[in-house]
Structure 1
């Protein structure tokens, strides 16, 4: 295994600190040398991204993150760039002090930050204010500096973590640097890929700093980034029953669209057969719009029973409602013991009436639904998405998808995968209904719950990105994902 094999591994801040200590104490690499390597890697990144830049402004905090910035500025000067440093007070810690001295001894000038200071004209700004150690909102005077940095309208490179972003959770409790690129060192921090963080990190570039494979031995990553995958080609003799029968249950009065999107996504996701159990008023529209869906009038549990006997996987919740009709169908579906995806009102009913979930089950809550399931506020979910998704998976004994920017998938054993794809255009109605259908289709084709959830989330997000490339993010419709979904599932470029 090479160090590049670790680029999809995500670590907690405490784990990264332990790796840093191991590099110093066990491998004998001085902390100052690690700082030099970080500065050199960051300067290479800067020059590759902005090759015409001649002026660099570096904003340095008092700790080791600031030390990285001082050494980057020193290297930039040696490379013939004009580099200026704006510092938040005095440096602390032997390595940070030494880095500052190296910059000053090389002829650099440090400008102490104060409100009246005019920021220098520059081509690129470098954020080296605070690293992984910051767990709180930026102080008011630092927040003011951050606003001034943004007002410059100049690209920003963040060192290790954009200042103000919680590298452990992805939470942003106040003002924070919005970087164009974040170059992160030694190990990828899990919080950079989920929650609010994706709106601040820009593109994340991981640098191992040339550290040997021995550094990672014996350390289990906290989570992993999903990688591009799909299903193997079908055998030539494949028959529709080989690919499962999804029964989508939902579509209360006025919500035919939700259950249609779910059912059509199950078809495009590769299920051999898809039935829909819904209200009678929706049958004509469903049959006219998508005749491949086998739509059935279901007015209660008795009418649902024969459909359950033919199904291999259930998709429960899109447009289901929480009234008597939806509640009765929900209970009947749970009692069937079939592999199942629960979403939307299927989750809201579970929150108000907890039940044992038999068989392979995937839950797909957004943060509000997750909060109801855990009996807490939505803010608590955002403050610790990793903790929330793990607790949901443990509590319900199910695989759980916590949706949002950087969707998380967890299983009851605590394993977590993070989705690096997706875009803001997907924050629109119907996207969750599609995901439910896709995951159900993958379960029907033989994936276990973990595989179906991870592959389904990845395909859904990648299809969203493909659709956005063809028409932009704003105005993106859930149904726009169906054609690129089909292409991606078959290993084609979308």
Structure 2
């Protein structure tokens, strides 16, 4: 945890959290306060869609979606974009039958809309925007298999990339790249910024997913609501004094 890791344009310090601390935030929000994963996923997806719409006009969007919470947020984002008549293609990193829980629910909803959902990116044309919703703060070691191939495709595509929460392949706590990784133009991170995002050069936007302030108080994370009357806010990483380790 780093209470002074990030700062809003108005000068408010925002705490950076490790992956483990973010797991605690999610656990307490769900188990002790009753906030559902689906609720947070919907907030994430809608916020991500807003960022996507800010980056493209009527150009096609490709959403790369994994099987975890990040993938579910990406699927919700795709639905919001489709509802606004933005041409969108979803590329899953696994077969649909392998999706579970609320992520499967997001998939089935999008599938009923008859949107383009694929598991092979090789025939996908280069879009105006790639939305990276493959792997969030749960990364453990280098990417392998389909996620790695999708990351390589996104890195090779001559287009803008928007990442959800943490760029896929980046360690959320340290910012290190244990293998292939996405280097987006913008990262839309959720609830609190992750300490590893201090190392990313991408534009950083913090999104509100309706976590109660009391959740942070329960865990002991210093928190002053940074959003004001908005639902997202831009962040800058603060600079460490010489010789200081964060």
TM-score over 0.5 for the pair: yes
CA offsets per residue over residues 26-58 of structure 1, 9 Å max, x none?
22221111100000111112222x252431100
**Alpha carbons 2:67, 2:93 under 8 Å: kept:** yes
Superposition pairs for residues 53-452 of structure 1, below 5 Å?
53-90=58-95, 91-113=98-120, 117-194=122-199, 198-199=200-201, 202-221=202-221, 420=237
Which of the pair has more CA radius of gyration?
1
Distance 1:144 1:51 in 2: 24
Distance 2:140 2:221 in 1: 21
Q: Offset at 1:457?
A: 7.9
Q: Which residue of the other structure, out of 43, 51, 54, is the alignment partner of 1:45?
A: 51
Q: Which runs of 5+ in 2 are unaligned?
A: 1-7, 223-235
**Alpha carbons 1:64, 1:93 under 8 Å: kept:** no
Q: Offset at 1:13?
A: 0.9
CA offsets per residue over residues 335-355 of structure 1, 9 Å max, x none?
xxxxxxxxxxxxxxxxxxxxx
Q: Secondary structure at the match of 1:125?
A: strand
Q: Secondary structure at the match of 1:216?
A: helix
Q: Which residue of 2 aligns with 1:233?
A: none
Distance 1:178 1:131 in 2: 14
**Alpha carbons 1:158, 1:183 under 8 Å: kept:** yes
Between Structure 1 and Structure 2, the one with more helix by share is 1
Q: Which residue of 1 aligns with 2:17?
A: 11
Q: Secondary structure at the match of 1:183?
A: strand
**Alpha carbons 2:160, 2:184 under 8 Å: kept:** yes
The TM-score normalised by the length of structure 2 is: 0.81
RMSD over aligned Cα atoms: 2.6
CA offsets per residue over residues 281-319 of structure 1, 9 Å max, x none?
xxxxxxxxxxxxxxxxxxxxxxxxxxxxxxxxxxxxxxx
Q: Which residue of 2 aligns with 1:480?
A: none
Between Structure 1 and Structure 2, the one with more strand by share is 2
CA offsets per residue over residues 437-470 of structure 1, 9 Å max, x none?
xxxxxxxxxxxxxxxx74x689xxxxxxxxxxxx
Q: Which runs of 5+ in 1 are unaligned?
A: 223-418, 423-452, 459-494
Q: Greater relative contact order (Cα 8 A, min sep 6): structure 1 or 2?
A: 2
Distance 1:17 1:151 in 2: 32
Distance 1:7 1:118 in 2: 45
